[in-house]
Amino acid sequence: MTNLGIWLIVLGSIMGLLNWASGVTALVKRNNTSFIPFLGGLLCMLGIYLYSGTLFKSFWWVALVIDFTLVPAIFISGYQSIKHEK
């Protein structure tokens, strides 16, 4: 499980960093780009959980920083859910 955790952390981190690059490009060039919401952050969180080191399990929140699309997507999903209930 340790190797799988490491690979998921690496893959999720790469996707999260590419989302950051995509966001910066969209701001600088003033054009639309496509993000991969949730996926990079979720893979990174799962990798941290599966990694056998108990020290690293307390750093699950780092995935939220690496992939910035995760937090806004959660809030937008919650807002849309509440909006459709009314």
- Greater confidence (29 vs 53) lies with 29
pLDDT score, position 10: 92
Q: Residue 81: which pLDDT band, with cuts at 50, 70 and 90?
A: confident
Task: Please answer whether residues 37 and 23 qualify as being in contact, where contact means their C-beta atoms are separated by less than 8 angstroms.
Answer: no
Number of domains in the chain: 1
Q: What is d(CA 79, CA 34) in angstroms, rounded to the nearest whole number?
A: 21
Each residue of 12-25: pLDDT tens digit? 888 888 877 777 77
Crossing angle (nearest 10°) for helices 70-85 and 39-50: 110
pTM: 0.68
Structural domain containing residue 76: 2-85
Q: Give the closest residue to 17 by CA, choosing from 47, 40, 37.
A: 40
Average pLDDT score over residue span 51-59: 75
Average pLDDT score over residue span 49-69: 77
Q: What is d(CA 53, CA 27) in angstroms, rounded to the nearest whole number?
A: 38
